[in-house]
Amino acid sequence: MRMDLADLRLFLLVVDAGTITAGASRAHLALASASERLRTMEREAGIALLVRHPRGVTTTEAGEALAHHARLMLRQQSLLREELQEFASGARGTLHLYANTGALTTFLPGRLAPWMAARPRLQVDLKERTSVEIVRAVRGGQAEAGITSNAVDSTPLHLQPVADDPLMLIVPPAHRFAHRPSLSFVDVLGEDLVALADGNALQEHIEDHARALGRVLSPRIRMKTFEGVCEMVGHGIGVGIAPRSICRQHRRRYGFHAIALDDAWARRQLSLCFVRWNGLSRSMQSLLLHLGGHAVDD
């Protein structure tokens, strides 16, 4: 049988109307065209589907079976169309978002929750990466977009700042700087330093600025995570540098003091990054707009 959905829709319209004339009218077909299509369906099926009377038509047993399955098929088509429209509009599917530690732990949760609550069929896969890794992934097409620090080289990506996340000096509770409201990076170059591990993008950024001041940092210890740095500082091992978002997350637990750095390079911002606005899925565009981004002319 080669009946298509249009044939099935016509058949149901005729069955529901009770006459071929009324069914053809509802299908916006000429009576002759509708009658021919119904006869073709019967030839394809090899059995009569309608009993024709002077005042209308009724279904045969085979026609009743066809009507039952036709309703199921057309309902399934309607559900499929709705589901595809949800994917197209960004209300359904899985969204992959890359974010650095600061964005993932402090910026995203409160902002992402209401956006997802309004989209119950959408899933979000959050991936924690360093800012450098995020930029590399977005450049290479492994990620649609990410949330990174504006301190990294993001050329040629679009970078849109959405939140301040400056670098802070963190010191033990009894440190001589503990109650200073702010200070400059040069003021702390002689202190024992708890640093991040070699290869960390932020640590390299900090060490570049030390070299610009004619100094080479020699950390007392290097830790793999920001939490490790915070814990060491809280125990008096030395001073460290961490984003404000990280300081807020761990300050109460480890008891250190956080002090603003006056240097311009320390005034970082969390930023959305992507290659082309028109290359983003609708769901990603919606999320970035919700997070404070804006559409751009590619």
Same domain, 147 and 283: yes
Same domain, 199 and 262: yes
Same domain, 104 and 119: yes
Task: Evaluate whether residue 262 is within a structural domain.
Answer: yes
Residue 256's pLDDT is 97
Same domain, 156 and 83: no
Please give the DSSP secondary-structure letter assigned to residue 183.
Answer: E
8 Å CB contact between 239 and 192: yes
| Tokens read off for 297 | 């002319």
Residue 82's pLDDT is 60
Task: Evaluate whether residue 245 is within a structural domain.
Answer: yes
Residue 76's pLDDT is 79
Same domain, 145 and 68: no
Q: Give the whole-angstrom CA distance, residue 134 versus residue 67.
A: 54
Q: What CATH number is attached to the domain comprising 221?
A: 3.40.190.10
Residue 272's pLDDT is 96
Residue 119 has a CB neighbour count (10 Å cut-off) of: 19
Structural domain of residue 147, as residue ranges? 94-162+269-290
Task: Evaluate whether residue 298 is within a structural domain.
Answer: no
Q: Are strands 194-196 and 269-274 parallel, antiparallel or unpaired?
A: unpaired
Q: Scanning the structure block, which residue is given the tokens 């849109």?
A: 160
Residue 7's pLDDT is 84
Q: What CATH number is attached to the domain comprising 49?
A: 1.10.10.10
pTM check: above 0.85: no
Same domain, 234 and 282: no
| Alpha helical stretches, state H, the chain | 5-17, 20-26, 31-45, 61-89, 101-102, 108-117, 131-139, 201-212, 226-234, 244-254, 282-290
Residue 87's pLDDT is 59
Tens-level pLDDT at each residue, the chain (298 residues) = 567 888 888 888 898 888 999 988 988 889 898 888 888 888 888 889 899 988 899 999 998 888 888 888 877 776 667 666 655 655 557 888 899 877 887 889 889 999 999 888 888 888 888 888 899 999 988 889 999 988 788 889 999 999 998 999 999 999 999 999 999 999 999 899 999 998 776 788 888 889 999 998 889 999 998 999 999 999 999 999 998 988 998 999 999 999 999 998 898 899 999 999 988 888 898 899 999 999 998 6
Task: Evaluate whether residue 138 is within a structural domain.
Answer: yes
Helix %, strand %, coil % of the chain (to 5): 45, 20, 30
Same domain, 257 and 179: yes
Q: Select from 67, 72, 62, 74 the least CA-distant residue to 6.
A: 74
Task: Evaluate whether residue 35 is within a structural domain.
Answer: yes
Number of domains, the chain: 3
Residue 90's pLDDT is 54
Residue 257's pLDDT is 96
Residue 252's pLDDT is 94
Q: Give the whole-angstrom CA distance, residue 258 versus residue 239.
A: 10
Please give the DSSP secondary-structure letter assigned to residue 176.
Answer: T
- What contacts 13, CB < 8 A, 6 or more positions away? 23, 24, 26, 27
Q: Give the whole-angstrom CA distance, residue 126 versus residue 156.
A: 24
Handedness of CA 224, 225, 229, 232 (dihedral sign): negative
Same domain, 176 and 223: yes
Same domain, 29 and 175: no
Same domain, 141 and 122: yes
